[in-house]
Structure 1
Amino acid sequence: MPAHGHDAGGDLPGWPLPALVLSAAACSYLLLVRRARRRNPVLGWSRRRTAGFLTGTALLGIALLPPLAPLAHEDFRGHAAQHMLIGMYAPLALVLAAPVTLLLRTLPAAGGRRLTAVLHSPPVRLTTHPAVALTLSTGSLVILYFTPLYNAITGDPVAHWLLHAHFLLSGCLFAHVIAGPDPAPSRPGVRVRLVYLGVAIAAHAVVSQLMYGGFWVHIHAPVPQVQAGAEIMYYGGDIAELLLAAALVSTWRPEPRRLATREPVTARKKTAPA
């Protein structure tokens, strides 16, 4: 049995369950797209967003299905690759698909008002603050890899699936706060979000480098595996965060300069008769 994991053959749910869940999610999104286009043929729905959702579900499928899923329980390098897909790449694709906006376009008026009220509620405003999203996504890595938590989770199938859910939800939350097209009433300006993204990039790099150097790491796995996993997280995280930065910059709409409504006082003084 691997030093850091558990046997993936008998105590983990089989691959059909995640495959069915992902297929159901993709079909549901496509049905909502069809409904949105029927309701408003002129406005329609972006094919780019539809492709983004399908790409996100495909990335989750790669992470949760063989051959990567069994490898993630036998080799820390597989876990690192799985973490990148579930926690960074798939969330970005899913968030850019604007699922909340799609719901708002397809729900009845009463349902849309209820959903809008939830989006403006204090708990949602607090959760979607960049500091909270950063703590849940990047800050949780410190607790996971620098305490005995990781080794405890890999020995419990239910806890391991809960870890997958945390990676996915926290990754979606951070991507939504930074560059999501869905409505976010408490979202700060682009400059502030760039600062939080920079902090996330730096923190992710520090975690990866500490893992590579073996400082304070609690991972029961061969050192070469941990170092290779740290490299996957370092370089893979950089690429994912650059993609997130590109998505953020693409939403930047500089404010038009205000035209002066009157001449400056100094100019009027110069042109005044003696």
Structure 2
Amino acid sequence: MTGHEHAHQPGWAGAPLLVALALAGLAYLLAVRRLHRTGRPWPVVRTALWLLGLGAAAAGVLIGSGSSFAVHMVGHVLLGMLGPLLLARAAPVTLALRALPAGRAKLLSRVLRSVPVALLTTPVVAALLSVGGLWLLYRTDLHAAAGHDPLLGLAVSTHVLLAGYLFTATLVGPDPVAHRADLGVRAAVLVLAVAAHNVLAKSFAAAPPAGLTEAEALAGGQLMYYLGAPVEIAVFVLLGREWARGDRRRARRSPVPQPGPAGELSR
């Protein structure tokens, strides 16, 4: 059996996820409308990012069910990398906290501070769920099995999207988290995660995933590596911008040395 055969899933397999994405878009727009009605504007850019992210994720679901491993990998980048980055930058949690009634906003705030959510939003755990999940998917028979079982395929696609969102939001999302890790920790986790993702992509050439020919595995690995690179670079840039803003804030808080009597700088 070739990867061409086992990568294909019935067209309806991703329908529940597509419906969920459509509902997420509607919910976001309704929340923005509620804010505007109360005289509190919401950045148009964030709304655009949310809709673009949902569109990328939906395209990933549809493309990922394609009949070749290379096409599947295009879907992987859209569903698990680009879509999550755009969605995380749209700050949906901040929007919900502002748009929900006070009681529900407080409840959501308590959930965000809970131990399970705090654990999930640590960079190491988020990276293990995202990149570690990909190693499990492609270095076991799980990918081949998901191609035959629509429910398993739906579960895998949902995990890829949610884990990618969690990872990106933990590193560079503007939404509040229970305990935001230091920039140095987030940068180190990002470097290791990117390395693990790229090693996985390159490993396809040496050891094709179950059911794939060497040519199919090589083509898919190359797409995974090169199409994922721009998204990874964007996350690095966002971390760098945050680092630079922190340096500027520290510089403004630092006292400016004043010249002494003899023209020397006083401490």
**Is this a same-fold pair by TM over 0.5?**
yes
Shifted more, 145-154 versus 15-24: the winner is 15-24
> Which of 238-247 and 100-109 deviates more?
238-247
Q: 2 CA distance for matches of 1:162 and 1:69?
A: 13
CA distance in 2, matches of 1:164, 1:19: 11
TM-score by length of 2: 0.87
Could you tell me the TM-score, scaled by structure 1's length?
0.85
Task: Measure how far apart 1:112 and its partner are.
Answer: 1.0
Separation of aligned partners in 2, 1:118 and 1:131: 20
Q: Tell me what 1:259 maps to.
A: 255
Q: Does 1:220 align with 2:211?
A: yes
Q: 1:39 to 1:206 in 2, by over 3 A?
A: same
Q: Distance in 2 between matches of 1:46 and 1:244?
A: 21
Number of the residue aligned with 1:133: 126
1:1-274 to 2 correspondence within 5 Å?
A: 3=3, 4-5=5-6, 8-9=9-10, 12-13=11-12, 18-41=17-40, 44-65=41-62, 68-71=63-66, 74-214=67-207, 217-252=208-243, 253=245, 254=247, 255-257=249-251, 258-259=254-255
**What is the CA RMSD across the aligned residues, in angstroms?**
2.5
State the distance in 2 between where 1:93 and 1:158 align.
26
Asked if 1 retains the 8 angstrom alpha-carbon contact of 2:54 and 2:83, the reply is yes
Match of 2:264 in 1: none
Letter in 2 for 1:205: N
- Extract unaligned runs of 5+ from structure 2: 260-267
- 2:81 match: secondary structure: helix
Q: Which amino acid in 1 is paired with 2:236?
A: A
- Please state which structure has a larger fraction of its residues in helix: 2
Higher Cα radius of gyration? 1
Code of the residue aligned with 2:25 in structure 1: it is: A
| Distance of aligned partners of 1:105 and 1:188 in 2 relative to their CA distance in 1, 3 Å threshold | same
Aligned residues: 256
